[in-house]
Amino acid sequence: MMPGDDEDDLEQLEDLPNEDEEDEGNEGPGGEGGQESFEDEDPDAPGPDEAEDEPQRPNRVEVQSSQQRRSQTRWQAREKELAETRRRAEEAEARAAQLAAQQQREQAQRQHAQLAEREQRRAAMTPEERTSDELQEIRAQMNFQRDMDAFYRNDSADKAQYDAKATVNKVYKRHQATVEKKLQHARNNGWNIPREQILANVIGEEALKMAEQSSKPTPTRRKPVSKPSNSRSDGASTPGRRSSSSDKEALKKRLENIPL
């Protein structure tokens, strides 16, 4: 080997990087870079899995907004119910008004037909007959008005008497609505009954119902009968049975040698 070759080899060795210096610069967790990464991390901070498992609490704004939505929904439901109730009431009033108008039209038509019939009948009468018919009609109208006035007077007195008793008597007060309902039903059928008489009928009906309910037989349960213990009787009867059998045997032996 020539002296020039040795010098070239030494220069190549000096140009190579130092492995120890590279190792010191690339140190892992033990180096300075590793220490800085550990110092930045918080040991008490939850990991990614723990953060996902923890439930999220609703904040105050969300709770208030949900409460407002629920209250608004309730108010809307109530307003809808009130609107439906008003609609039904208006429909009922409209039907009642239509029925009243129809009854008035029918009554006007009947009156018009009666007037036309009366005029046609009177056209065939003599003047004297026509005058007599008109006087008879006037008397009928006066009698009808007199009967209506008497009816209203009697009804007012009867109602005042019943209401006065209802203020001090609980029986009258409890059956007041029932009495008025039955009275209206009777008048629709052409009957006018005093209120106290209707009350007596209502009380009698209730008494009959109570009597029927009380007369129905009620099922009775039989009480279990305890059987007397046979310990003493068995003990007492056993010797008696033994003694009676022995007496019979002794009697047979005595009668064996006796000719019959």
pLDDT tens-place values along the chain, 260 residues long: 444 555 555 555 555 555 555 444 444 444 444 444 444 555 555 555 554 555 566 677 777 788 888 888 888 888 888 999 988 888 888 988 888 899 889 989 998 998 899 888 888 889 999 999 999 999 999 999 999 999 999 999 999 999 999 999 999 999 999 999 999 999 988 888 999 999 999 999 998 888 888 877 666 666 665 655 555 544 444 444 555 667 777 777 766 666 55
In this structure, the answer to whether residues 119 and 157 fall within a common structural domain is no
- What is this structure's pTM? 0.40
In this structure, the answer to whether residues 165 and 111 fall within a common structural domain is no
Residue with the two structure tokens 């999220």 = 56
Of 214, 215, 218, 162, nearest in space to 193 by CA: 162
Tell me whether residue 139 is in a domain.
no
Tell me whether residue 144 is in a domain.
no
Tell me whether residue 57 is in a domain.
no
Structural domain count of the chain:
2
- C-beta separation of 168 from 178 below 8 A: no
**Which residue range is the domain that position 173 belongs to?**
149-213
Tell me whether residue 158 is in a domain.
yes
- The predicted structure's pLDDT at residue 157: 94
By three-state DSSP, how is residue 168 classified?
A: coil
- The predicted structure's pLDDT at residue 197: 94
CA 21/CA 176 separation, integer angstroms: 115
In this structure, the answer to whether residues 71 and 120 fall within a common structural domain is yes
- The predicted structure's pLDDT at residue 29: 45
- The predicted structure's pLDDT at residue 218: 66
CA 21/CA 15 separation, integer angstroms: 14
* Domain final position from 109, 124, 139: 124
- C-beta separation of 34 from 28 below 8 A: yes
Tell me whether residue 156 is in a domain.
yes
In this structure, the answer to whether residues 154 and 192 fall within a common structural domain is yes
Tell me whether residue 231 is in a domain.
no
Half-sphere exposure of 129 toward its Cβ, with a 13 Å CA cutoff?
Answer: 8
- The predicted structure's pLDDT at residue 33: 46
* Domain final position from 124, 140, 164: 124
Tell me whether residue 204 is in a domain.
yes
CA distances from 117 to 3, 120, 134 (A): 164, 5, 14
> What does residue 89 show for φ and ψ, rounded to 5 degrees?
-65, -40
CA 190/CA 118 separation, integer angstroms: 27
Tell me whether residue 104 is in a domain.
yes
What amino acid is encoded at 167 in this protein?
A: T
* Domain final position from 196, 213, 230: 213
Contacts (Cβ under 8 Å, ≥6 apart) of 173:
166, 167
- The predicted structure's pLDDT at residue 230: 54
- The predicted structure's pLDDT at residue 214: 81
Indicate the DSSP class of residue 46: -
Distance from the Cα of residue 164 to its chain's centroid? 37
